[in-house]
Amino acid sequence: MFNTFLDVKPEVAEAVRAGGPVVALESTIISHGMPYPQNVETALRVEETIRAHGAVPATIAVIGGRLKAGLTADEIEYFGKKGRAIAKASRRDLALLCARGEDGATTVTTTMIIAHMAGIKIFATGGIGGVHRGAETTMDISADLEELSKTPVMVICAGAKSILDLGLTLEYLETKGVPVLGYQTDELPAFYTRRSGFGVDYRVDSPEELAAALKTQEAMGLGGGMLVTNPIPEEYSMPPEIINAAIDQAIAESKAQGIKGKETTPFLLARVAEITGGDSLESNIRLVLNNAALAAETAAVYSRLN
């Protein structure tokens, strides 16, 4: 059933075989998203949140050249301690990492790929990558957008990261035929803040609607993923003027330091956290927990539809 390079945690494999609710989680947030030990504590809290809402968590990573769908607590600890020494793994990296027997922290792209291999339909993350500001000259566009167009996994996030060009990110998704759904909102959330000024394709107000949309897209054989944008809870939302000023400063610093490619997003998120005195990091944690809860509830409904 499973790819020969894939190891599925027994609990996850059993849930998939039984048609039970499973939620995939990425590992870049552990290795690159925040410092140790907060990264490990957050990863375990996210898994606990998924269990509390009726689903099985499957944190995804590459360890020793093996694609892992579901990590043990010890493996999460290992990732947290090793941190940024672990390579960020996008689609282009998987074959070489497996051939060399190396570790890789999965991004949205690779988490979708491995989740699909393992038969997992729903994935919770913080925010997706997208079209970076200035991409008309740099061509810096996240592979997440291309993966959403072809891999049939529902991704539940807090919108595109606000360090991006949100308008161009939506245009790219539209061109690729990816439905962008706003959970209880008509407006695209912007990661740290609930509003961006850009509209979503459709508003969806319940896990039942989300599960039905996913089931119908599969039944129609349309292929590709679905993007669900779930606003950060109001009490943790940051004022747009504060977060935007921090982002502008971080982007200016990244350009001055010549930071490019896969190092851009980790640098910007870390720098924004520093500039905001840690407020953005707390917001990041809260929005991930919020997305995990919605993903678990949606997975539970989806499993009943089967």
**CATH number for the domain including 297?**
3.40.1790.10
Tokens 């049939």 belong to residue: 152
Does residue 1 belong to any structural domain of this protein? no
Strands 56-63 and 66-69: antiparallel
Tally of structural domains, the chain: 1
User: Which segment of 32-41, 218-227, 273-282 scores lowest on mean pLDDT?
Assistant: 273-282
Strands 6-8 and 66-69: parallel
Q: How far apart are CA 179 and CA 190, in angstroms?
A: 17
pTM comes to 0.91
pLDDT, the chain, mean: 92
- Banded pLDDT at 278 (limits 50, 70, 90): low
Average pLDDT over residues 182-193: 93
* More confidently predicted of 111 and 137: 111
Cite the active site residues: 26, 161
Average pLDDT over residues 46-63: 98
pLDDT at 107 over 60: yes
Summarize pLDDT for 134-150 with one digit per residue, the tens.
777 778 888 999 999 99
Does residue 249 belong to any structural domain of this protein? yes
Average pLDDT over residues 247-269: 81
**What percentage of the chain has pLDDT greater than the value 90?**
73
Domain residues for the domain of 100 are 6-305
Contact between 295 and 115 (Cβ < 8 Å): no
